[in-house]
Chains A and B, each alone.
Chain A
């Protein structure tokens, strides 16, 4: 290119000027189109004022410049009133377990057992259940998202503090080891359902949510060592839609696919399995 002895300035300056001009003009064209022309045109069609449309395109007002905010009188009724927040999780971690134990001994031991093992097979064990699962269910009873003749009045009698403390107490108890002689690990078909699901029915694997580090929803309860009668009842309640506090129908859509026989065998599997 060019001559070796040309003055470097003569060679360099035009480059600098032209390159800057070219780059700046393309950027300016992008800005003009994206921030002004298109939003104004689209906003007009959507009945949005030019000013609002530009603010939306810039991101200083919510919404898209091409779409009016949908007017809706419908009121969403959430299936649960629980909203997970970092504060709530911290409160659960820092709860007063002693106070929780005191409340439990007065009100809960009768049905859920002293160490969280329910004497009656139809009542749930709470030992080793995750704090998030216990909290959500108690809160749901209290807000009528889940209903049960026995539990609803009990939960309604607890205030926020008590609810958190009693949750922490039960979550702190560890699950007892299951008696290996009762373990039923031979049920191949059910193990497959638990670990692989059944594609032909759009059934995801139970362990994709109920596993130990499965990455399922935060509030997913542990099922290992849960009472058989209780598990059967819950799966049936989900299936009939009587229990409907599961967010996004997660469990209702699962249970709807299960046969009575499968429910019984799943309940047996979880109530006796040694696996996590």
Chain B
């Protein structure tokens, strides 16, 4: 560990600082939506808070965790120093500048347009510019990951790239593709409108471009968790990875099927035709494949570990697993939430059923469960796993870590299950308050209060997480620097086909699928220009 140590710590602490602020806002939002009067509750404050919470949780937290973890993997899995570390720092400071700019505009009340922007609403242009800076910083990271892998391959011809790094680069390549949509929307439509250079804007086009990004970005958030499933959990359980090939296939499938599917966020939109929606729905069904592969492979790996530890019988191996280790425990909890979250996702992606849940609280509950639950709890586990290596200190006891993880799991279940139910009752998302005097709505009250209790448990857990990490920095230095080891496969690969060792072929496949899925849907706005919407400035004076 040479360069990446401080780089990783800087990225991760930025991510977790944003997380700390956003958790507090999240609880206040749930409170505001409940029948219990909340302090400072006005619609203005509500939408300001949701913008800050959404931007922090969806953009700042995952982007910096992915980048920081990527730098860590590049040095520890490849066992060579990170190339061009100065560029890594440049990317980081760009990201810091962008995050600070975005936060300043939001808290000044000049950017309450939520994290999805909602054109033709426009905020102050500096809000979007801040986010663009974050994205540009992350592109630097993508380049460094690709270079690190290419250099390693040059030094190790014919050898398989370690799975952790292969997956990290898959994510970097995917992120480059992913950001094209939102970058085009911001640079060519929203920012010119926010500056007042144009008076109208094609909302159909901007929604289509955002959809390009919107699905793949969730896999960008998810992939670190999957890297931990494949390369850290089996090791922590004292076993081996059941199949290295399955791992490679999983990350490749994520790369190719995360992108041409975003239109499943537009099922209820009028600007696209049914045929393309159906096509993208079909392709969406395929992104379930890598998750099923993962559930199978990781369960098998855990079974290997359990049996190596003396577990017998049909389920005996489960009991034999070392559940006291945070990574093993978290993998179990994450899988449990993935089960519910994945089921909800299948409902969302079904063209017909989507009509029932569209724009209801069901959707917010769903992504809190899968993203705030499965994904974020794995971020915690990753942090716990790498912090000793980063700081040269060891946790004195795993008990506070386990307690924190259990609280997050319990809080998330308690918060999201009633929230799903409310969605089915027709509760809207993205509204600042409910009229509990209305007899149709009064019945929602108790369920929201339960969600709020879940949120409070999450708040406690989130703060404990920060406290646990913070505490480690002040612990005495360990005698021996703890090292990170990634899981070996049951049959470690000696030579893999080029297709499973790089991304050249898959980039061609992505390009072809994107052309098929988004070519005409985007071209139509230029071939037959529909009337545009008048830009609606939410901020006076620009």
Instruction: Tell me, yes or no, whether A binds B.
Output: yes
Tell me the bound Cα distance from A6 to B497 in angstroms: 10
Residues of B within 8 A of A31 (CB): 279, 516
Instruction: Give the size of the chain A interface in residues (CB under 8 angstroms).
Output: 47
A59 in contact with B540 given A1-B494, A12-B497, A15-B497 (CB within 8 Å): no
Of B256, B275, B496, B524, the residue contacting A1 (CB under 8 A) is B496
- Give the distance to chain A from B478, nearest Cβ to Cβ, in Å: 37
Tell me the bound Cα distance from A19 to B538 in angstroms: 49
Of B274, B494, B498, B539, the residue contacting A65 (CB under 8 A) is B274
Q: Is residue B536 contacting chain A, with contact meaning CB distance below 8 A? A: yes
When each residue 438-466 of chain B gets 1 if its CB lies under 8 Å from chain A and 0 otherwise, what string results? 10000000000000000000000000000
Contact B274 A66, beta carbon cutoff 8 Å: yes
Which residue of A is nearest B494, CB measured? A4
Of A30, A54, A89, A218, the residue contacting B278 (CB under 8 A) is A30
Which residue of B is nearest A90, CB measured? B199
Which residue of B is nearest A13, CB measured? B497
Which residue of B is nearest A66, CB measured? B274
Residues of A within 8 A of B121 (CB): 215
Residues of A within 8 A of B494 (CB): 1-4
Tell me the bound Cα distance from A3 to B146 in angstroms: 27
Complex interface: stretch among A71-79, A154-162, A195-203:
A195-203
Of A12, A34, A89, A199, the residue contacting B282 (CB under 8 A) is A34
Residues of A within 8 A of B524 (CB): 59
Residues of A within 8 A of B80 (CB): none
The residues in B between 490 and 504 inclusive whose CB is less than 8 angstroms from any CB of A are 491, 493-500
When each residue 1-38 of chain A gets 1 if its CB lies under 8 Å from chain B and 0 otherwise, what string results? 11110101001100110011001001101110111001
Which residue of A is nearest B531, CB measured? A85
The residues in B between 230 and 287 inclusive whose CB is less than 8 angstroms from any CB of A are 244-245, 256, 272-279, 281-283, 286
Residues of A within 8 A of B272 (CB): 59
Tell me the bound Cα distance from A237 to B353 in angstroms: 44
Which residue of B is nearest A38, CB measured? B278
- Give the distance to chain B from A6, nearest Cβ to Cβ, in Å: 7
Contact B498 A12, beta carbon cutoff 8 Å: yes
Of A26, A35, A196, A213, the residue contacting B275 (CB under 8 A) is A35
Complex interface: stretch among B49-57, B170-178, B318-326, B429-437:
B429-437
Contact B199 A196, beta carbon cutoff 8 Å: no
Q: Is residue A212 contacting chain B, with contact meaning CB distance below 8 A? A: yes
Which residue of B is nearest A65, CB measured? B274
Contact B435 A12, beta carbon cutoff 8 Å: no
Of A26, A34, A208, the residue contacting B276 (CB under 8 A) is A34
- Give the distance to chain A from B432, nearest Cβ to Cβ, in Å: 9
Of B499, B537, B539, the residue contacting A12 (CB under 8 A) is B499
Residues of B within 8 A of A85 (CB): 534
- Give the distance to chain A from B196, nearest Cβ to Cβ, in Å: 11
A57 in contact with B275 given A89-B534, A213-B539, A213-B540 (CB within 8 Å): yes
The residues in B between 456 and 495 inclusive whose CB is less than 8 angstroms from any CB of A are 491, 493-495
- Give the distance to chain B from A22, nearest Cβ to Cβ, in Å: 10
Of A12, A56, A215, the residue contacting B273 (CB under 8 A) is A56
Contact A1 B534, beta carbon cutoff 8 Å: no
When each residue 204-217 of chain A gets 1 if its CB lies under 8 Å from chain B and 0 otherwise, what string results? 01001000110100
Main secondary structure of the interface of A (DSSP, over half): helix
Residues of A within 8 A of B495 (CB): 1-4, 6, 11
Q: Is residue B505 contacting chain A, with contact meaning CB distance below 8 A? A: yes
Tell me the bound Cα distance from A64 to B365 in angstroms: 31
Contact B436 A27, beta carbon cutoff 8 Å: no
Contact A56 B274, beta carbon cutoff 8 Å: yes
Tell me the bound Cα distance from A77 to B493 in angstroms: 72
Residues of B within 8 A of A23 (CB): 256, 509, 513
The residues in B between 511 and 542 inclusive whose CB is less than 8 angstroms from any CB of A are 513, 516, 520-521, 524, 532, 534, 536-540
Contact A27 B43, beta carbon cutoff 8 Å: no
- Give the distance to chain A from B382, nearest Cβ to Cβ, in Å: 27
Of A20, A57, A202, A212, the residue contacting B540 (CB under 8 A) is A212
Q: Is residue A84 contacting chain B, with contact meaning CB distance below 8 A? A: yes
Tell me the bound Cα distance from A73 to B409 in angstroms: 57
Tell me the bound Cα distance from A2 to B200 in angstroms: 59
Contact A16 B273, beta carbon cutoff 8 Å: no
Q: Is residue B42 contacting chain A, with contact meaning CB distance below 8 A? A: yes
- Give the distance to chain A from B211, nearest Cβ to Cβ, in Å: 15
Contact B283 A30, beta carbon cutoff 8 Å: yes
A59 in contact with B43 given A86-B200, A90-B199 (CB within 8 Å): no
Which residue of B is nearest A217, CB measured? B536
Residues of B within 8 A of A29 (CB): 282
Contact A1 B245, beta carbon cutoff 8 Å: yes
Which residue of A is nearest B509, CB measured? A23
Contact B199 A33, beta carbon cutoff 8 Å: no
The residues in A between 40 and 76 inclusive whose CB is less than 8 angstroms from any CB of B are 54, 56-59, 64-66
Q: Is residue A124 contacting chain B, with contact meaning CB distance below 8 A? A: no
Residues of A within 8 A of B436 (CB): 199
Residues of A within 8 A of B491 (CB): 1
A199-B437, A202-B438 known, 7 other contacts, Cβ within 8 Å: A1-B245, A8-B498, A11-B498, A30-B281, A56-B273, A86-B200, A215-B121
- Cβ contacts A to B, 30 pairs, < 8 Å: A1-B491, A4-B158, A6-B495, A11-B497, A20-B509, A27-B279, A27-B513, A27-B516, A29-B282, A30-B278, A30-B279, A34-B274, A35-B278, A57-B273, A57-B274, A58-B520, A59-B273, A59-B520, A64-B274, A65-B274, A85-B534, A86-B532, A89-B534, A196-B42, A199-B433, A199-B435, A213-B539, A213-B540, A215-B121, A218-B536
- A: residues with CB less than 8 A from B are 1-4, 6, 8, 11-12, 15-16, 19-20, 23, 26-27, 29-31, 33-35, 38-39, 54, 56-59, 64-66, 84-86, 89-90, 195-196, 199-200, 202, 205, 208, 212-213, 215, 218
